[in-house]
Chain A
């Protein structure tokens, strides 16, 4: 019996000591393992809506152009051999504004299945994207600017399928190794969209796509392939590109496994394998990282103390990301909304056009305490935006007039709002956030506290809705204020300004200022999108940012920063626009 006890003790000690020794050397050499909470929504790059999913596409596919590592302003050739420009003649402008942009396609580039890239693959890629109704925001941008409509379906409704297909077919032409895009008017962000490195503008292999059941590439078969859904999309669970890694396995809610593509045209990657695993509990992800079972994960600000100083772990914090959030005033709330009380200005409600008053909107602006919000919600790890153009973007203007927390000014504007009636009668509205969204909830709580402190007749109730119901309520214009943001994935000021201010940008419709946008913003935004002169573009962007301040249609309440942690044995990581999206090709391990 005593002998057995000694044996058991020895086994336990061996286990403990072995466990403590575990993880000192490089775990899983050659394999990069990333822990993320973001599951894969689809593997079809033309339908990707989430920035997290585009990370996979970025590493499996290539685009015609690219950015040098970490430099989002410069463009370099990708699958095209030259960056088109007016100077090299690959961009030509006709007198009527028609713009031709030509990309010479690189020869000798192999797809993962051994096929060789041709210009026909490029034409097929974009025709397919428009035909099937790709939902990625870049695809939407391209459709609008190539076909002049919000979607290919809209074009079909207008002119019939045959004419619409002919328009699409003539908008993208092939001649030898060249692919030429014909735009009805100049569209400056076009090159930036083509430089997304293999996200929405990823180049597909036509023959392989057809083998998988995609559109066969003919006019006769196009109509039957329009407007795909997740379950009808043959590429939902498949990827095959020219990128440095090839898809081995995808379990959408669990893991994606990529293997190195040794015949990559830029040279074989240094890693053998990449595993992107879903770990929904961030505490578990931290433990995995510390034990070396995972090489990289994004970290919440509250978990930073757990990893800072941890052996073998490097922490990169406060990395600006392309995510900006704003509180949007809804100028024309649905009269049937249950969040406006009795629909009359006073202690029991607000009118449906409550936020059409500029003084009122400014009063709310001066009631928002950015410093407290950023310190309390993000523990200081967030940025106060300049306006609709994100910090770090070209033409973002730090000198743009800003709102700031000032109760005295807030009171002054409240007293003026609605000719003094707001101050006299008070108001009562319900502000809604999506359940579980702490940053939305805290923003509204802060606003509520500061506004109600000014006048006891002011009442803001708070309510939460499940995410699904929240989106529905926003679409139906039920909410007096909506909290939605922007994640522009192309590094150009046109995109956020279009989204926030243009009549076709979405927010104009959601928030009820379409007429204002048509009258005041559209001409400037349109010119911003079509003028190649950098000086003029800056002028236009600055003017639009000033207008956004003047008209006060949204409170830009934060721009996110991200924090990531990685093991010391990972080299080559650089920070992109979404820091937790990793360029696996740049990495080595050991």
Chain B
């Protein structure tokens, strides 16, 4: 297994190199003026008084493709992902800033998706065609069809606008003062983790309070998909002969369901889980915008719209790493779930 893991990880640099070259060459199809626009903010404020030609030369946008790619690659190998004009900071710093925010959202969202999905899917399958099942099925239709933007705004209006329970943003003003303007140290960039390390439970609770609504809005669609997947997989498994045998042997229904049937029903779920995690780590631009919770989604979309190719490349490398590592973890999980699986 160790050899398998190493082999998979060794392919990673090659994948990243090909990916970066591909994206770089696509960006180079654009003229220097088009690529310059990311340095000129706000479409409506642009006037003819800006020295575009001089800026093209200043930012080296008219140099040949291979020169620009070589310069970029050299920087990357020295740990420098370049400067992101759209984020107004080095790419590495921008990723370091926004990726932990997305990880936090992903973690809480994953708990909702996986724990909620498995729980509700199991309930629905076990109580097939009865009220809990009907309720879950209607709920999942709602969850899948409701646009994120609409649902997010509804949550915000009700739980912040009316009830004032869960405000938008990552932290309250007083907590931001603590995090950014005191001797508080940021270790991971994740407020939930750093607050505990800094022994600030008040900041932890504040961060959690700000995470609730975006996590719910973000995960509702994925939760619905997970519930349906678990439900249908478990329904199929519950029809299997070995389940009938287990029941015949006198085992309690709960043990039959959880220890025997559900374990086997989770295999397709794990496959889906991998792509869910990878998707979530790419950020959610709509949820981030509605809840003013800046993460990777907004960063990537802004970079893409502005043709900020250092940021696009940096984000692509990160996503490439995430996908490769996630798929590897899934394959390893298969072995845990089903010992008969052998990885070659």
- On A, residues with C-beta under 8 Å from B are 15-16, 18-20, 22-23, 28, 31, 33, 38-42, 49-53, 133, 135, 137, 140-141, 150-151, 153, 227, 229-231, 236-237, 248-249, 251-255, 257, 275, 277-281, 283-284, 287-288, 290-291, 293, 323, 325, 434, 437, 466-473, 475-476, 484-487, 499, 505-507, 509-510
B70 within 8 A of A: no
Q: Which residues of B contact A249 (CB under 8 A)?
A: 180-181
A560's nearest neighbour on chain B, judged by CB, is B44
By a CB distance below 8 angstroms, the chain B residues around A15 are 163, 165
In the bound complex, residues from chain B placing their C-beta under 8 Å from that of A237 are 89
Interface pair B45/A510, CB less than 8 Å apart: no
Q: How far is the CA of A137 from the CA of B40 in the complex (A)?
A: 13
Q: Judging by beta carbons under 8 Å apart, are A467 and B87 in contact?
A: no
Task: Establish whether residues B88 and A230, one from each chain, have CB atoms under 8 Å apart when the complex forms.
Answer: yes
Contact B50 A19 (CB under 8 A): no
Asked whether, in the complex, the Cβ of A49 is within 8 Å of the Cβ of B292, the reply is no
Given A229-B59, A471-B40, A472-B30; A284-B54 close (CB under 8 Å)? no
Asked if B54 and A151 sit within 8 Å, CB to CB, the answer is yes
Compute how far the CA of A40 lies from the CA of B42 in the bound complex, rounded to whole angstroms: 11
Contact of A137 with B291 at beta-carbon distance under 8 Å, contacts A49-B45, A50-B45, A248-B181 already known: no
Residues on A with C-beta less than 8 A from B113 are none
> CB < 8 Å: which of A38, A279, A468 contacts B42?
A38
- CB pair B180–A475 under 8 Å, yes or no, is no
User: By CB atoms of chain A within 10 A, which of B47, B85, B168, B289 has the most?
Assistant: B47
Query: For A31, what are the chain B residues with a Cβ–Cβ distance below 8 Å?
Result: 173
Known: A31-B173, A229-B59. 16 other contacts (CB 8 A): A39-B88, A50-B42, A52-B42, A137-B47, A153-B54, A227-B54, A231-B83, A275-B173, A280-B289, A283-B290, A293-B167, A468-B305, A469-B30, A472-B34, A475-B52, A499-B49
Question: Contact partner of A469 among B34, B50, B55, B290, CB < 8 A?
Answer: B34
A288 touches B306 (CB 8 A): no
Across the interface, do B164 and A22 meet the contact criterion of CB distance under 8 Å? yes
CA distance A507 to B47 in the complex (A): 8
Main SS of the interface on chain A?
mixed
Question: Residue-by-residue, is B25-59 near A (CB-CB < 8 Å gives 1, otherwise 0)?
Answer: 00000111111111111111111111110110011
Distance (whole angstroms) from the CB of B26 to the closest CB of chain A: 13
How far does the Cβ of B299 sit from chain A's closest Cβ, in whole Å? 8
Residues in A with CB closer than 8 Å to B37 are 467-472
Closest residue of chain A to B159, judged by CB?
Answer: A19
**For A486, what are the chain B residues with a Cβ–Cβ distance below 8 Å?**
47
For chain B, residues 193 to 252, give those with C-beta under 8 angstroms from any C-beta of chain A.
Answer: none
**Which residues of chain A are within 8 angstroms of B36 by Cβ–Cβ distance?**
468, 471-472
A471 touches B46 (CB 8 A): yes
Closest Cβ–Cβ distance, residue A222 to chain B (whole Å) = 16
Known contacts A15-B165, A288-B168; A230/B42 CB under 8 A:
no
- Asked if A485 and B54 make an inter-chain contact with CB atoms under 8 angstroms apart, the answer reads no
A414 CA to B115 CA, complexed, in Å: 69
Our pick among B30, B32, B291, B305 for the contact of A467 (Cβ within 8 Å) is B305
Q: Does B307 contact A (CB under 8 A)?
A: yes
Bound-state CA distance A473–B32 (Å) is: 11
Shortest CB distance B58–A (Å): 5
Asked if B291 and A284 sit within 8 Å, CB to CB, the answer is: yes
- Closest Cβ of chain B: how far from A34's Cβ, in Å? 13
B162 touches A471 (CB 8 A): no
Report chain B residues within 8 Å CB of A257: 180-181
> Which of chain A's residues has its CB closest to B48's CB?
A506
Nearest CB of chain B from residue A326's CB, rounded to whole Å: 11
B334 CB, min distance to chain A CBs, angstroms:
40
Which of A20, A255, A284 has a CB less than 8 Å from the CB of B290? A284
A-B contact pairs, 24 of them (CB 8 A): A19-B163, A20-B163, A28-B173, A38-B42, A42-B88, A49-B46, A49-B50, A53-B41, A133-B54, A135-B50, A237-B89, A249-B181, A277-B169, A278-B292, A291-B167, A466-B307, A468-B37, A471-B46, A472-B33, A475-B33, A499-B47, A499-B49, A507-B48, A509-B48
Q: A287-B160, A291-B164, A471-B37 are in contact. Are A135 and B89 (CB under 8 A)?
A: no
B319 within 8 A of A: no
Residues of A within 8 A of B164 (CB): 18-20, 22-23, 291
Q: Which residues of A contact B132 (CB under 8 A)?
A: none
Q: Which of B31, B87, B306 has the most CB of A within 10 A?
A: B31
Q: Which residues of B contact A39 (CB under 8 A)?
A: 41, 88
Closest Cβ of chain B to A433, distance in Å, is: 10
Chain B residues positioned under 8 Å from A505 (CB to CB): 48-49
In the complex, what residue of chain A is closest to B167 when comparing beta carbons? A293
- A560–chain B nearest beta-carbon distance, Å: 8
**Cβ–Cβ < 8 Å partners of A287 in chain B:** 156-157, 160-161, 168
Interface assignment of B112: CB less than 8 Å from any CB of chain A: no
Q: Which A residues are in CB contact (< 8 Å) with B5?
A: none
Closest to A500 in B: B48
User: Which residue of the partner chain, among A53, A236, A434, A509, contacts B43 with CB atoms under 8 Å?
Assistant: A434
Does B153 touch A at the CB level, under 8 Å? yes
CA distance A52 to B45 in the complex (A): 9
Q: Is the CB of B262 closer than 8 A to any CB of chain A?
A: no
Please give the distance in Å from A248's CB to the nearest CB on chain B.
Answer: 7
- Contact between chains at B45 and A468 (CB < 8 Å): no
* CB-based nearest B residue for A510: B48
